Structure formats: C-alpha cells, structure tokens
C-alpha cells in the first residue's frame, strides 16, 4: 500500500512503540515465570498494578505513559508501595485552561494533596494501603494561583488557567481526488 512519506514516518514510529511494548511485556512474563513456584513459606507482596497508554503527540510521535506500582527493568520487575496513577492533560486554548485528570480510586478527597507550579503539578494521596504519587509535567505554562481541583468517583480533575495563549497548529485543507 502506498503512503505519503510523512504518514509512513508516523506509522514507523507507532510500529516501533508497539515493538518496545511487546518486548517489555515479554520481559515481564519471563520474569514472572522464573519466580519460584514452590516455597516453604508463601508470601504475597501484591497487589501488582501495571498499565500503559499510547497517544500521539503534537509532533506526530507516539507518547507512551506507564502507570501502576511495577516497572520492568533490566533486572526484572521493580515493585513499589506507591502507585503512579493514570494521568491525562488537556489544553483548551479557546477557554484558556489546562486540565489535569488523574485516576485515584480508593482514597477520600481529604487525603489528596495537590501542588502546582508554572510547569508541574504534583499529586499525592495516601489512605490505608493505597498510596499514589505523580509529578505531571505540563505541556504549557500555567498560573498556579488559579488552580481549582475537584474529586468525584475516584477521578481527580485539576483546572489551571494558561499563562500565555497556546497557538493551535495551523492546518490546511486537503482536496480529496
């Protein structure tokens, strides 16, 4: 199938990203299968949470974001007591705001701490055995004093005013033949 060069690069990047993910998952399964199955004393360190999302950035390259409390490493699986929540950022240049949305199930709003600067939002939450932490690098400069946060049904939403107007990419119409 013929594809224009710029689309070919995008598809090549996506294919490489999926190959990296496939290798990462393969390493994780190999590590789990090498773990001893029969021991005199069985201890469960879990629960284990791991996930990833793939989005296409403004430059056309895939962005892979991992979340959870385990990470693949060259020495196997690294587990942490603190989970990295799933986080998304959305810029609404027409309204002049940036939204940070984070999934924090199982905690009360009183246990959530949010700190904002011009280019980073830090999210912490701890309740019982649920601990969350994330430093979210923002795609645009914001006014941290304008931050407002709400928490409903395990989802935290932080809204911040943009410091400067973000220019949207100019596009052009493509004639379909």
Same domain, 159 and 101: yes
Q: Tell me if the bond preceding 47 is cis, omega within 30° of 0.
A: yes
| Residue 135 in this model has a pLDDT that exceeds 70 | yes
pLDDT band with cut points at 50, 70 and 90 for residue 31: low
- Segments forming the whole domain that contains residue 133: 86-166
Q: Look at residue 46 in the predicted model and tell me its pLDDT.
A: 65
Same domain, 75 and 127: no
Radius of gyration of the chain (CA): 20
Q: Look at residue 12 in the predicted model and tell me its pLDDT.
A: 83
Same domain, 6 and 63: yes
CA distances to 12, 17, 65, 72, 104 from 26, in Å:
21, 14, 18, 10, 28
> Of 28, 56, 84, which closes a domain?
84
Same domain, 76 and 153: no
| Residue 162 in this model has a pLDDT that exceeds 50 | yes
Same domain, 55 and 94: no
More confident residue, 31 or 146: 146
Same domain, 104 and 76: no
Same domain, 155 and 122: yes
Question: Cα dihedral angle (97, 137, 80, 29), rounded to 10 degrees?
Answer: 100
Q: Quick check: 68 and 51 in contact, CB under 8 A?
A: yes
pLDDT band with cut points at 50, 70 and 90 for residue 166: low
Average pLDDT for 13-36? 76
> Of 35, 66, 84, which closes a domain?
84
pLDDT band with cut points at 50, 70 and 90 for residue 42: very low
Average pLDDT for 44-69? 77
Same domain, 98 and 74: no
- Within a domain: 9: yes
Same domain, 39 and 77: yes
More confident residue, 143 or 38: 143
């Amino acid at each position: 199938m013929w594809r224009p060069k710029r689309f070919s690069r995008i598809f090549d990047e996506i294919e490489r990203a999926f190959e990296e993910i496939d290798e990462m998952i393969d390493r994780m399964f190999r590590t789990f299968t090498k773990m001893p199955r029969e021991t005199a004393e069985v201890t469960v360190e879990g629960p284990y949470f791991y996930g990833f999302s793939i989005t296409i950035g403004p430059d056309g390259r895939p962005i892979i974001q991992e979340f959870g409390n385990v990470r693949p490493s060259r020495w196997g699986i690294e587990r942490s007591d603190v989970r990295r929540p799933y986080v998304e950022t959305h810029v609404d240049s027409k309204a002049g705001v940036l939204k940070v949305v984070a999934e924090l199930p199982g905690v009360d709003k009183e246990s959530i701490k949010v700190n904002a600067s011009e280019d980073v939002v830090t999210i912490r939450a701890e309740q019982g055995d649920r601990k969350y932490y994330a430093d979210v690098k923002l795609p645009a400069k914001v006014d941290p004093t304008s931050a407002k946060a709400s928490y409903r049904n395990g989802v935290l939403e932080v809204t911040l005013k943009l410091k400067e107007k973000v220019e949207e990419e100019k596009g052009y119409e493509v004639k379909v033949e």
